[in-house]
């Protein structure tokens, strides 16, 4: 019940009316106001007639008035009916009321003309131009018919006083109709002008509302596009940061290239990403990493592109400038790759190191116009980070190779030196047996631990236990002892080598001193033979002087001649 009452006020607009525009909404509110006002005034009039006792005598007034009030309430209640049916029904009811009053009062009272005038006014407010014209014609024709009928006696003349003249005189009716038409024209013109003005204002408001709605939709779309673009840029920046962070810890080139390609492909939702590296001669860009099955197939097939060729990679590596193809179908500089049939946009970025071009990225999308200058800027930062990482990885590999070479030479040196030391000292081995009681089985488990010195084994330590298993603390202690033993042995060897070299230096000094004391060639030769013969590994020493060869003398002379010429 409450819901039904909420639909009666003029402020409520039925949904089917609201959907047809603001003008119809305004007409609906006007009509609902008139219906409710007419019904209320009719009820008040009926109550007043009843109080004065007129209602029991003048049923010809009460019944039609009650019927009109009932009809107003009926139209005000059923708001779901089409607007046109309700409006035309209201116009007809008011028109019939005017006809009834006019037939009852003639030219006396003037209420009949007011009702007819009201029906035309309602048509002007609630309906279109055709309904207004039809209502005007019908009302004028009705006045003419009633006037003629009363003038010729076909309609009974009412007993009321005629304030505009005798109702049986046709001339009075003509004057009445003329006045009626003049009033209708005056009121109708104003009404039409007002209605047209309201319609114009409503149309402008509607156009303005439509423009505002279009602008709002456009603004929302621009905001949505901008938000999407910002989110895309944020993903790109995060991807660039993640790549820069991850590649700094990778020191092998091939895993580094594949990791970067996969990160760009997955994070930026791309169709394909590949990384080319230039060969040693700088003539071809060879595919080293690629995403998906297409990348694996092309790597297995040895896919490569000539530097400076017609492909985008070739142009990017030759010019050191990025290349963008927003629509690969219309791009002349592009390699048509059958392994990537869905490519619509492509971006080629050179990977430039400190001194030269190292390679290039190929970044492809299945959407047209997928890249712009901002994409180039962000992805170029990734390419620069990758170039630095590649050079660092190459430098690390070169350093590792040099270090391994040094280690190999050191191992060879240690092996030679310790082989000589062991050869000079003999086979050195020492065994320690514990004074504790032996195990009952008499069988122990041996554990052999190598003695390592800078990666080279110089000996081994054998420990015999009952189980062959040492605790963690024992293992730590044994490792520490073995390490210190290796260092001590190397220190002892170096000390012995130093002492030996010192003895050799002393011998050389003694020989030099004996040479300085000798005054002739024979004494010098004897001293040299005597000193060399004292070496432990020498059994016999002989020295013989021979004249220099002739060719040597001539060469010496020629050199002296040239030196003399140069001195001049």
Going from the first residue of the chain to its last (568 residues), give the mean pLDDT of each consecutive group of 10, the final group possibly shorter. Answer: 74 78 77 81 75 60 77 82 84 82 68 74 76 80 80 68 53 59 55 64 77 87 83 75 70 83 85 91 91 91 90 89 76 66 88 87 87 81 84 83 81 73 68 61 70 75 76 82 80 77 77 72 76 72 75 50 41
Closest CA to 185 of 103, 265, 237, 120: 120
List the domain range (segments joined by +) for residue 488: 445-515
Is there a single domain that holds both residue 523 and residue 506? no
Please report whether residue 425 resides in a domain: no
Q: Are 107 and 153 within one domain?
A: yes
Q: Which residues contact 254 (CB under 8 A, 6 or more apart)?
A: 288, 289
- pLDDT attached to residue 110: 58
Are the beta carbons of 132 and 120 closer than 8 angstroms?
Answer: yes
Distance CA(244)–CA(389), nearest Å, equals: 9
* pLDDT confidence of residue 566: 39
- 477 and 376 in a single domain? The answer is no
Q: What is the CATH number of the domain that holds 285?
A: 3.30.450.40
pTM, full prediction:
0.45
Other C-beta atoms closer than 10 Å to the C-beta of 268 total: 19
**Which residues have CB under 8 Å from 261's CB, separation 6+?**
273, 274, 275, 289, 290, 291, 295
Q: In this predicted structure, what is the pLDDT of residue 492? A: 77
Contacting residues for 302 by C-beta, under 8 A, at least 6 apart: 286
Q: Does residue 439 lie within any of the structural domains?
A: no
Strands 345-352 and 357-365: antiparallel
End-to-end CA distance of the chain: 136
Q: CB atoms < 10 A from the CB of 36, how many? A: 17
Same domain as 396, residue 271: yes
CA distance 322 to 377: 10
Residues 6+ apart with CB under 8 A from 308: 314, 315, 317, 318
Interacting residues of 377 by C-beta distance below 8 A, sequence separation 6+? none
Q: Are residues 480 and 341 in the same domain?
A: no
Contact 330, 280 (CB under 8 A): no
On whether both 269 and 207 belong to a single domain, the answer is no
Based on the fold, state whether residues 94 and 208 are members of the same structural domain.
yes
The answer as to whether 434 is a domain residue is no
Q: Which of 515, 531, 552 is the last residue of a domain?
A: 515
541 Rama class: left (phi>0) / alpha (psi -120 to 50) / beta: beta
Q: Which two tokens stand for residue 244?
A: 């820069």
pLDDT at 464: 79
| Start-end of H helices in 111-169 | 111-126, 129-151
What does the pLDDT read at residue 425?
65
Q: According to the model, what pLDDT value does residue 568 have?
A: 33
CB 162 within 8 Å of CB 150:
no
With respect to residue 223, please indicate whether it lies within any of the assigned structural domains: no
Q: What is the Cα 31 distance to its own chain's centre?
A: 56
Question: How many of the other CB atoms lie within 10 Å of CB of 15?
Answer: 7
3-state secondary structure of 155: coil
pLDDT of residue 287: 93
Q: How many domains does the chain have?
A: 4
Q: Does 192 fall in a domain? A: yes
Residues 349 and 462 in one domain: no
Residue 406 lies in a domain: no
Any residues with CB less than 8 A from the CB of 136 and at least 6 apart, and which? 120, 123, 184, 188
Q: pLDDT at position 561, please?
A: 47
Is the same domain home to 149 and 41? yes
Same domain, 494 and 557: no
One domain for residues 281 and 375: yes
Q: Which two tokens stand for residue 165?
A: 């003249």
Continuous segment of H or E residues that includes residue 195: helix 170-247
**Domain-located, residue 111:** yes
DSSP helix/strand/coil, 150: helix
pLDDT at 565: 40
248 lies in a domain? no
Whether 505 and 559 map to the same domain: the answer is no
What pLDDT does 277 receive?
Answer: 92
* pLDDT score recorded for residue 554: 52
């Amino acid at each position: 019940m409450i819901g039904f009452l909420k639909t009666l006020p003029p402020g409520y607009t039925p949904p089917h009316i609201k959907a047809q525009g603001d003008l119809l909404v305004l007409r609906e509110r006007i009509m609902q106001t008139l219906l409710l006002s007419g019904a209320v005034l009719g009820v008040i009039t009926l109550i007043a007639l009843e109080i004065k006792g007129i209602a029991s005598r003048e049923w010809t007034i009460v019944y039609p008035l009650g019927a009109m009030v009932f009809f107003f309430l009926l139209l005000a209640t059923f708001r779901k009916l089409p607007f046109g049916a309700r409006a035309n029904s209201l116009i007809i009811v008011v028109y019939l009321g005017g006809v009834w009053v006019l037939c009852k009062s003639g030219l006396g009272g003037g209420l009949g003309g007011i009702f007819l005038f009201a029906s035309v006014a309602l048509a002007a407010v609630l309906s279109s131009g055709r309904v207004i014209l039809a209502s005007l014609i019908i009302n004028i024709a009705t006045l003419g018919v009633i006037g003629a009928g009363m003038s010729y006696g076909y309609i009974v003349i009412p007993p009321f006083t005629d304030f505009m003249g005798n109702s049986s005189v046709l001339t009075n009716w003509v004057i009445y109709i003329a006045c009626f038409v003049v009033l209708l024209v005056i009121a109708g013109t104003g009404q039409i002008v007002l209605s047209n003005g309201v319609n114009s204002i409503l149309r402008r408001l509607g156009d303005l509302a439509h423009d505002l709605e279009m602008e709002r939709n456009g603004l929302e779309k621009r905001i949505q596009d901008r938000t999407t673009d910002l989110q895309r840029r944020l993903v790109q920046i995060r991807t660039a940061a993640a790549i820069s962070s991850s590649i700094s810890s990778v020191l092998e080139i091939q895993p580094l290239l594949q990791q970067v390609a996969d990160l760009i492909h997955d994070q930026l939702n791309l169709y394909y990403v590949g990384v080319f590296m230039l060969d040693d001669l700088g003539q071809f860009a060879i595919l080293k990493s690629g995403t998906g099955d297409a990348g694996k197939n092309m790597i297995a097939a040895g896919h490569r592109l000539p530097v400076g060729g017609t492909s985008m990679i070739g142009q990017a590596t030759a010019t050191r400038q990025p290349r963008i193809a927003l629509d690969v179908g219309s791009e002349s500089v592009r390699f048509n790759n059958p392994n990537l049939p869905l490519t619509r946009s492509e971006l080629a970025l050179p990977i430039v190191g400190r001194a030269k071009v190292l390679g290039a990225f190929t970044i492809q999308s299945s959407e047209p116009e997928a890249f712009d200058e901002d994409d180039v800027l962000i992805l170029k930062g990734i390419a620069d980070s990758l170039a630095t990482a590649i050079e660092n990885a190459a430098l690390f590999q070169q350093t590792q190779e040099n270090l391994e070479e040094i280690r190999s030479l050191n191992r060879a040196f240690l092996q030679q030196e310790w082989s000589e030391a062991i050869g000079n000292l003999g086979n050195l081995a020492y065994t320690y047996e514990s004074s504790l009681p032996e195990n009952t089985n008499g069988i122990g488990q041996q554990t052999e631990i190598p003695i390592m010195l800078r990666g080279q084994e110089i000996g081994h330590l054998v420990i015999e236990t009952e189980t062959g298993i040492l605790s963690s603390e024992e293992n730590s202690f044994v490792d520490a002892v073995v390490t210190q033993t290796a260092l001590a042995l190397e220190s002892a060897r170096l000390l012995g080598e130093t002492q030996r070299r010192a003895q050799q230096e002393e011998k050389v000094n003694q020989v030099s001193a004996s040479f300085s004391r000798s005054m002739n060639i024979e004494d010098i030769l004897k001293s040299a033979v005597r000193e060399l013969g004292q070496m432990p590994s020498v059994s016999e020493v002989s020295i013989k002087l021979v004249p220099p060869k002739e060719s040597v003398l001539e060469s010496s002379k020629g050199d002296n001649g040239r030196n003399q010429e140069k001195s001049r």
